[in-house]
Amino acid sequence: MYLEFYRLNEKPFALTPNPAFLYPSKKHRLALTTLQYGLLGQEGFVVISGDIGTGKTTLIHQILGQLDRRRFTCGLITNAHEDFGDLLQWVMMAFGQELPSGSKAEQYRSFLDFVAAEFRHMRRTVLIIDESQNLSPATLEELRMLVNVNSGKAAALQIVLVGQKQLLEKLRRPELEQFAQRIAVNYRLEPLDRDDTAAYIRYRLALAGNADPELFSDAACALVHRHSGGIPRIINLICDTSLVYGFADEQFHIGEELVEAVVNDRSASGLPFLLTEADETR
């Protein structure tokens, strides 16, 4: 709708994760480096956590795009939930493998054979589970048992858990103490600060084809940060809607008045961009 009006080649604030648009803030660079260190350092468990919309899934796709598939065999589970069912079935599906019929012990052996075969071909197996905060303690304990395949200095299987802050709360439970002790790398992804929010907006606009640093004024960027809390997904929502409003009003530049109108209209609809603690308890 507004692409030609704002001289854009594509939507700069799409909600779907796009590694090409990952803004390299200091926090995201550190998260990416931490994730790379965990994988290249052959650590058993790596945990990446953060609030909803802070860019965890985009980070996952970024690292998946960077890993050398000659050295790593990767499996991704994106829909972890409490009623996970048979963990091994999900794990084997993530690697494009079929779970054979038979006893639990035979199925477990099948997975270990798969990991061992990859390791013999000089490839380490990496399992990434998104939305890991939804896993039950029993499922997390089963994951810990899977990692027991590792022996010696080299880790044949590595598991990356990505989830919201509830994941860390769950991992602090006494019954998961052994699991927590196996976590070698842990990083919490925080929202962007005010300066990074402005840089994030302009970075994505430039990638999409518009390098005008004044398309969003400084005051507009500051207001976006205030109403988004620095959460990238909400920044995208506010900025995308602001471009729609700007196009409708034929405004070539987005100022704070327009952003305020976007936020007020959204709040009036009963679905504010950023819920307050009061909103969450209603």
Q: Residue 44: is its pLDDT beyond 90?
A: no
Q: What is the mean predicted confidence (pLDDT) over 55-74?
A: 89
The pLDDT score that the predictor gives to residue 279 is: 42
The reply to whether CATH 3.40.630.30 applies to domain 26-189 is: no
The secondary structure of residue 19, as a DSSP letter, is G
The pLDDT score that the predictor gives to residue 20 is: 87
**Cβ neighbours of residue 64 closer than 8 Å, sequence gap 6 or more:** 74, 76, 128
Q: Name the one residue in this structure whose structure tokens are 């550190």.
A: 30
User: Candidates 1.10.8, 1.10.600, 3.30.70, 1.10.3720; correct CATH number of 192-267?
Assistant: 1.10.8
Kindly report the length of the chain: 282
Please give the Cα distance from 259 to 245 (Å, whole number). 9
Under 8 Å between Cβ of 54 and 22: no
Nearest to 129 by CA among 146, 107, 112: 146
Nearest to 52 by CA among 127, 119, 130, 144: 130
The pLDDT score that the predictor gives to residue 151 is: 61
Q: What is the per-residue pLDDT across 219-266, written as a single tens digit (0 to 9) for each?
A: 999 999 999 999 999 999 999 999 999 999 999 999 999 999 999 999
Out of 6-20, 29-43, 118-132, 240-254, which region has the weakest mean confidence (pLDDT)? 29-43
The pLDDT score that the predictor gives to residue 80 is: 80
Q: What is the per-residue pLDDT across 170-214, written as a single tens digit (0 to 9) for each?
A: 999 999 999 998 898 899 999 999 999 999 999 999 999 998 999
Pinpoint the residues of the chain covered by CATH 3.40.50.300. Answer: 26-189
Q: What is the per-residue pLDDT across 86-145, written as a single tens digit (0 to 9) for each?
A: 888 889 999 999 888 878 888 888 998 999 899 999 998 999 999 999 999 988 988 988
Pinpoint the residues of the chain covered by CATH 1.10.8. Answer: 192-267
Indicate the pLDDT class of residue 280, thresholds 50, 70 and 90: very low
**More confident call, 195 vs 273:** 195
The pLDDT score that the predictor gives to residue 108 is: 87
* pTM summary value: 0.86
Under 8 Å between Cβ of 254 and 218: no
Q: What is the mean predicted confidence (pLDDT) over 45-74?
A: 90
Please give the Cα distance from 39 to 133 (Å, whole number). 21
* Token pair of 141 as six digits: 């304990």
Region label for 126, one of left (φ > 0), alpha (ψ between -120 and 50) or beta (otherwise): beta
Under 8 Å between Cβ of 243 and 254: yes
The pLDDT score that the predictor gives to residue 278 is: 36
Q: How many angstroms separate the Cα of 69 from the Cα of each of 13, 65, 183?
A: 30, 9, 24
